[in-house]
Structure 1
Amino acid sequence: MSGEQKAKGKMEEATGKAKETVGRAVGNERMTAEGQAKKSKGAARQAKEKTKDIFKH
């Protein structure tokens, strides 16, 4: 389960980065903000899973 959540976090982070980049390229502030939020959510998910792993061992 932990590996699945880490992968999901990486995917969210990657799609967020892409959405942020596209938003900046076309001048869409809302898309840029949504991309940043998704990227942050993915990073937080990965950090949470890494913390869980540390306490498991």
Structure 2
Amino acid sequence: MGELVDKIKGNVNEAIGELKQKSDNPETRAEGQAQEAKGKAQQTAGKVKGALGDDI
């Protein structure tokens, strides 16, 4: 189950991060870049959990 949760959270963070990067505010754009990177990391974690099992 953790695999699916990580993938969903990753997708949400990537999408929000992409939206924030379209802002005129430099701080918001920076937050968006960080949030998108976090989303990609969560997706990767989900893939690893899927490959190795949720027991990790």
TM-score (norm 2): 0.82
Count of aligned pairs? 52
CA deviation after TM superposition for structure 1 residue 29, in Å: 1.1
Give the structure with the larger helix fraction: 1
Cα root mean square deviation, aligned: 1.0
Q: Which amino acid aligns with 1:3?
A: L
Structure possessing the higher relative contact order (Cα contacts under 8 Å, 6 or more residues apart) = 2
What is the TM-score normalised by the length of structure 1? 0.81
State the match for 2:28 in structure 1: 31
Runs in 1 of length 4+ with deviation above 3 angstroms?
none
* Structure 1 alignment gaps of length 5 or more: none
Structure 2 CA distance for aligned equivalents of residues 42 and 3 of structure 1:
13
Identity %: 38
Q: Which runs of 5+ in 2 are unaligned?
A: none
